[in-house]
Amino acid sequence: MVNKKIRQKKGIKIEVSTINKSKKLPFILFGAAIILLLLVILFVQISKPKIAVGDTVTLDYTGYLDNGTVFDTSIQEIGVQAGIKRQTYEPLIFTIGQGQIVIGFEEQVIGLGKEDKKRFTVAPDKAYGQFREEFIGGISRMLNFTKYSYISIDRYNQLSQDKPSVGSVLNVNYIPWDMKILDFNETIVKIENVMNVGQKLDLSNLFGIQWESVVIGVEDEFILIKQNPKIGDIMITPLQQGTRIARVINFNETSITLDSNHPLAGKTLTFEINIKEINKPEK
């Protein structure tokens, strides 16, 4: 309600309008409530635990290439829609400072709190590195094995609980063919590698290769094996620290071309994350 007051000053009438003070009170209370709510939210944000080095973090994530393609995600709905083939979808769990994820991702997570969401971009140098031409090389598609080999008696005893005997067969779990004992003495055991033309071999445990190989020739002294890879098959090579994974990018009748670059090498990556849990280390 507006009250009107009439004032006389030097013979002139002045009309003054004033707002009823009782009408101002709800606006003042509403403003105070908004300020109080903002202060509560600020206090909660400041007081809740923040991610730091040593914390174990659980989060959902989705990774995008520059063209918007989803290359990985922990969320099943997004993964299925993107055509990502994987058996299970579950949040990513890692410990800050242990090198379990790329450094650029880890740096963006530090300082966030539970239920925080963030979208950020990671350059190649802080992701999977630049693409390097020297990481592309070739190997022969043909493998030559000697038909006969010799191992020390000590090595034989490590491979078998039975004492060697002529005509017996030595089986080793990572070697996909039989080894027949031909002769032995106190120091050396002579073995024949028994393979037949057309025999298919799984050399994954022996050479770390994912593809199948087949025996194509058995001669007096040598056995010839041909490798049969597919594009995208991998070869895992143990290194002094960790392993190197190489993918087949080409092959012909005589050679196989391998690329040891990470599939995401040289790419700028964008991530969307949602922090689910933060576990502080026990003191």
**What is the CATH number assigned to the segment(s) 56-131+264-279?**
3.10.50.40
Please classify residue 246 by burial: count the beta carbons closer than 10 Å to its beta carbon, then call 0-12 exposed, 13-18 middle and 19+ buried. buried
Q: Which two tokens stand for residue 39?
A: 């202060």
> Any idea how long the chain is?
283
Residue 186: in which H helix or E strand, if any?
none
Q: Which two tokens stand for residue 272?
A: 């969307």
Q: Is the pTM of this model over 0.85?
A: no
Q: Which two tokens stand for residue 184?
A: 């032995």
Strands 188-194 and 148-152: antiparallel
pLDDT at 47: 57
Residue 142: HSE in the Cβ half-sphere, 13 Å Cα cutoff: 8
Whole-angstrom distance, CA of residue 184 vs CA of residue 143: 27
Q: Which two tokens stand for residue 231?
A: 């594009």
Q: For residue 40, what is the DSSP state?
A: H
- Assess contact for 97 and 57: CB atoms under 8 A: no
Q: Which two tokens stand for residue 271?
A: 């991530």
- How far CA 119 is from CA of 84, 93, 105, 174, in Å, comes to 21, 18, 11, 45
């996909």: which residue's tokens?
A: 176
Whole-angstrom distance, CA of residue 6 vs CA of residue 11: 12
Q: In this prediction, what percent of the chain has a pLDDT beyond 90?
A: 73
Mean pLDDT on 52-81: 95
Cβ-based neighbours of 214, under 8 Å, separated by 6 or more: 198, 199, 200, 201, 225, 226, 228
Q: 161 or 38, which is more confident?
A: 161
pLDDT at 5: 47
Q: For residue 282, what is the DSSP state?
A: P
Residue spans per domain, the chain: 56-131+264-279, 134-259
Give the chain's radius of gyration (CA, Å).
Answer: 35
Whole-angstrom distance, CA of residue 83 vs CA of residue 78: 9
> 109 φ, ψ to 5°?
-80, -35
222-273: per-residue pLDDT in tens?
A: 999 999 999 999 999 887 777 889 999 999 999 999 999 999 999 999 999 9
166-219: per-residue pLDDT in tens?
A: 999 998 888 999 999 999 999 999 999 999 999 999 999 999 999 999 999 999
pLDDT at 16: 47
